[in-house]
Structure 1
Amino acid sequence: MHRILILVLLLLFASPFGVKAIRVNHTPPDTLDLKACLLLGLENSRSIKKALMDEESARYYRNEVKASGLPQISAYGNYNNFVDVFPQAVPGGLFGPGEADEVQVIALGVPQSLQAGVTVNQLIFNSSYLIGLKAARTSEEFYKMLSSQTEEQVIYDIAMNYLRVAQMELQRENLNANVVQLKGLERILEAQVANDLVRKVDLNRVKVNLSTLESETENLETEIFRGLSYLKLIMGIPVDTPLELEKSEVSPRYILDFKVADLDPENRKDIQILDIQKTLYDYEYKSIKSTNHPSLVGFADFNRNSFSTNFDFLSESKVWYQGSLVGLKLQIPIFDGFAVKSRAAQSKVRQQQLLIDRSQTLDAAKMEYNNATKKYFNALQTLRANEENLLLAEDVLKETTLLYKEGLSPLTDLLEAESTQRQAQANYNNQLIQVRIAQLEILKSTGQITRIIS
């Protein structure tokens, strides 16, 4: 038993800390609508994964704070080998013959000693510990709120980039339709030029317009590729994943179904985060002040000791002496040179700065909401005007095409009508996207951006 006590003086326990497994989503389908993109992004976004890890770290921190109030147990061992036993000066005659006014120097103690034991400390009362527990719980809420804010930002970023790519794809469809139309006209004119029915300059004019449209289409393809690559990046999926967006999100029905919500700043995550920070600063101030409060700790020490002139501690006959100790330790701060007062004053200053930040954030929220609603209603008005222009341009194109086929209208009128219709269609598509973007900005400013996935 004594051999085991000598050899095992300190036990070290190691346990791996696990991190929650992050699910990797399967390869998404080739065609996705906005809701599917958002759900996929929420599951795979790297920003959200990091925010969840911060949230998990906050839970571990709360456990760490809590642990300081639980019993603290440790084992220890001491081995001393005095090559020369420390000399001690004693009055003469204390341990034998000698005069009282003399000083005798003797070696007290034995050359070798061995001690092994266990200490236990238990916190009984400490104001800072109780406040720290509350602050740790609040800190966990703080990181949960940050995770929610990150999710909202990811939703907003994905939706905005989705709409921008959809806008370019609509523009590409419009250009492709016009390219097909011009190629058909080009074939007709080539036949007419061959039969000397029209001038070659008319054919060349169509070829120039066709070349211009094809160049625009190629440039647009590059921009769409870049937009899709960035969308995949913020969604957290490999950039080489095939992805095609549905165009249903730019349907006019989404405009009719949208209701503008009133602004309630308390629903915004940035305001809620600042409120939690204020609570944390309150705890910080109380914790600093509590360092002037008394603290009480209980302790105990249980040990075995052995002494010898030689290293014979492994002998079965060796005598071991038991020692034990229990006690209380009371600590009462009296004067620290006003350090606590200065730290508390700094904490108060940080609280006042936070109040200023909150006031500015409230004003920014109102400004963001007002700008978004103003943009939305203006975009709606412009959309109605663009819709009327598109209908007129389509009518003009139909009539001009008829007149041209009947030989009553020159080619220049047809090309101009086609160009006007193409521009009117592009303006209408772009304005649809602007209305949807304004809707997103309203939802973001009111803290209701998650409505688009409900």
Structure 2
Amino acid sequence: MKKQLIIFLWGAVLIWSASVRAQQAPQAFSLQQSINYALANQPNLKNAQLQNEIAQARIGQIRSAGLPQINAGVDVGNNVILQKTLLDPNTFGGGGTQQITITPGNINTLNNGQNVVLKPEFVENTEPLPPTTIAFGLQYAGSATVSASQLLFDGAYLIGLKAAKVYTDLSQKQLQQTEIETINQVTKAYYSVLVSRERLTLLDRNLDRLDNQLRETSEFYKQGFAEKIDVDRLQVAFNNLKVEQEKAKRLVALGVNLLKFQMGMELSQPLELTDKLDNALVEAEIVANSNFDYSRRIEYSILETQRDLAKLDIKNKQSGYYPKLLLNGRYGYSGSSNSFRDLARFETQVAEKFYPNWFNFAFVGVSLQVPIFDGLRKKYEIQEAKLTLKTLDNGFRTLQQSIDLELNQSNTNLQNALQVIKSQKESLELATEVARVTNIKFKEGVGSNLEVITAETDLRQAQTNYYAAIYDALIAKVDLQKATGNLQK
């Protein structure tokens, strides 16, 4: 038994350790894979999808108004105090009471089965009687009813059905807009990590090269071929570059965490990027020569849908002047009794006999509701809806101008960034060559240590400028893709 328990515990430990290693293993993502992951896990996008489902639920509420409405109810109560009303007895029988006077002289003796003949004499009472209080109903009452109604015609409902489809399209487009914004953020964060990582690689190389120069100069100093100030200068440059390297590492880690955040990934999960910076630059040059398709902008499409909804809203307000026709029906039972026991057993006992105290009823009819005057409320609602439509029409002009400006600006920024890259690349090549030659001259004793440090400083600045230009070009590429409506998943 102990052996089996030990084997079980070791198995559980191995499974747990394997699970931990699997969770800590870096996940390799290309840019497209990062985008796909974000579209499936980004919290803001999930909320947008929930909003889309909420819109679908609202559409269902609109459609439900045209379906049959069926309700059932049971009502049982105790008429603690019965409602009373006054009844004027003078309204019956001409205002008086007729009395029959039978005199003995009018009675024939019953003889041999012959009939008795009565000759009444009526005496009219002309004195009016006071009102009489009468209570209707019994102490306990109940009812059970099933009612149903079906909308036959309603102009607002018909317009609402048309608006439901348009509203669905608007919800889908708003979801697409959130997806585009997510793609935009993930792409920029991904490019930022690529550039920072490449720059860190160059800093590592510069640090190794400067470390070699520092060790060589230290040896020259020990042998008397260099001054201590030369060693000190290189040591200061080395220390500064070391600090810059540590800063770059933290910036890379921060950029990776930002990318994880934009993707909706846990920050503790290791992440590895597989795309190359050179491929991204080639894509930037292709985008710079792409054509613009105005209809691809999601903002323009959303505004068109909102305009369609505004037109339907006007029609909906106008349909308020139309009549509404409904089919109604009710069926049920109602009962009453002087005791709750008789009411509950559906019959009333009188002497030895039982009598029913619940009776069914049914009603089927058509209800026509015709609006006549509402204090001009619908008139002003229609006026407001028309003004809203004019506002949306004016918004098209503003949006078109905004898109044109954004397109020109992003295109200019990308063209300038690509030109700056070419210039900075030439400067980087020159600075690299100057640093190489200066280092050779210093080793051969025909150059100064100050020239080496200056050349290394200029090289690092050229590298910084070059990668800053690359980052600007990549961001301008993303902005241009978004401006042209080509930033899609």
TM-score when scaled to structure 1?
A: 0.89
CA offsets per residue over residues 118-168 of structure 1, 9 Å max, x none? 000110000000111111221111110001010000000111122222222
Shift of 1:256: 4.6
Instruction: Work out whether residues 397 and 414 of structure 1, in 8 Å CA contact, stay in contact via their aligned partners in 2.
Output: yes
Q: Against the structure 1 CA distance between its residues 266 and 28, is the aligned structure 2 distance closer, same or farther, given a 3 Å change threshold?
A: farther
Contact 2:29 2:272 survives alignment (8 Å)? yes
Partner residue of 2:345 out of 305, 309, 315: 315
**Identity percentage of aligned residues:** 27
Structure 1 gap ranges (5+): 1-25
- Distance of aligned partners of 1:307 and 1:217 in 2 relative to their CA distance in 1, 3 Å threshold: same
CA shift, 1:348, in A, is 1.4
Q: Secondary structure at the match of 2:150?
A: strand
What is aligned with 1:295? Answer: 324
Distance change >3 Å, CA 385–CA 448, structure 1 → 2: same
Query: Is 2:84 the counterpart of 1:46?
Result: no
Instruction: Give the match for residue 333 of structure 2.
Output: 304
Distance 1:347 1:256, change over 3 A: closer
What is the match of residue 123 of structure 2?
none
Q: Which has the larger radius of gyration?
A: 2
Does 2:66 match 1:61?
no
Instruction: Tell me if structure 1 keeps the 8 A contact 2:295–2:301.
Output: yes
Q: CA deviation at 1:261?
A: 2.6
Could you tell me which residue of structure 2 aligns to residue 419 of structure 1? 457
Q: Quick check: 1:168–1:220 contact (8 Å CA) kept in 2?
A: yes
| 8 Å contact from structure 2 (residues 326, 368) kept in 1 | yes
Aligned pair in 2 of structure 1 residues 153, 39: CA closer, same or farther (>3 Å)?
same
Q: Does residue 189 of structure 2 align to residue 161 of structure 1?
A: yes
Write the letter of the residue equivalent to 2:88: P
The 3-state SS of whatever aligns with 2:329 is strand
CA–CA separation in structure 1 for the residues paired with 2:332 and 2:232: 105
Asked if 1:348 is matched to 2:409, the reply is no
Could you tell me which residue of structure 2 aligns to residue 265 of structure 1?
Answer: 294
After TM superposition, the structure 1 stretch with the greater mean CA deviation from structure 2, 233-242 or 29-38, is: 29-38
User: Which residue number corresponds to residue 174 of structure 1?
Assistant: 202
Contact 1:121 1:300 in 2 (8 A): yes
Matched, 1:372 2:407: no
- Compute the TM-score of the two structures, normalised by the length of structure 2: 0.83
Q: Secondary structure at the match of 1:313?
A: helix
Instruction: Report the Cα offset of residue 286 of structure 1.
Output: 1.0
**For 1:411 and 1:33, how far apart are their aligned partners in 2?**
44
Counterpart amino acid of residue 211 in structure 2 = K
In 2: Cα distance, 1:306 partner to 1:132 partner: 43
Alpha-carbon distance in 2 for matches of 1:165, 1:63 = 45
CA–CA separation in structure 2 for the residues paired with 1:405 and 1:442 = 49
CA distance in structure 1 between the partners assigned to 2:222 and 2:402 by the alignment: 68
> 1:449 aligns to what SS in structure 2?
coil
Shift, 1:295, TM fit: 0.4
Counterpart amino acid of 2:298? K
**1:91, 1:100 within 8 Å by CA — same for their partners in 2?**
no
Contact 1:260 1:442 in 2 (8 A): no
Task: Give the equivalent residue in structure 1 for 2:374.
Answer: 336
Larger deviation: 252-261 or 318-327? 252-261
The unaligned stretches of length 5 or more in structure 2 are 1-22, 98-126, 349-355
Amino acid at match of 1:34: L
Partner of 1:282: 311
Alignment partner, residue 446 of structure 2: 408
Match of 2:229 in 1: 201
Task: State the alpha-carbon separation in 1 of the partners of residues 67 and 447 from structure 2.
Answer: 94
Aligned to 1:139: 167
* Counterpart contact for 2:173–2:298, Cα < 8 Å: yes
1:359 and 2:388 aligned: no
Q: Residues 295 and 100 from structure 1, CA distance in 2 versus in 1: closer, same or farther, beyond 3 angstroms?
A: farther
What is residue 398 of structure 1 aligned with on the other side? 436
CA distance in 1, matches of 2:362, 2:134: 29
Aligned length: 426
Distance 1:250 1:426, change over 3 A: farther
The verdict on how the C-alpha distance between 1:28 and 1:279 changes in structure 2, with shifts beyond 3 A counting, is: farther
* Residue of 430, 442, 454 corresponding to 2:480: 442
Aligned to 1:75: 72
3-state SS of the aligned residue for 1:56? helix
Q: Say whether 1:192 aligns with 2:189.
A: no
Q: Is the 8 A contact 1:300 1:325 kept in 2?
A: yes
1:233-254: CA deviation from partner (whole Å, max 9, x where unpaired): 1211111221233450344433
Residue 85 of structure 2 is aligned to residue 88 of structure 1: yes
Letter in 2 for 1:116: A
**Shift, 1:264, TM fit:** 2.9
**d(CA) in 1 for partners of 2:45 and 2:197?**
29
1:17-75 Cα distance to aligned partner (Å, 9 max, x none)? xxxxxxxxx98843333222111111111111111111111111111111111000000
What is the CA-CA distance between 1:227 and the residue it aligns to? 2.3
User: Which whole-Å CA distance do the structure 1 matches of 2:74 and 2:84 have between them?
Assistant: 25
Aligned to 1:253: 282
AA aligned to 1:330 is: L
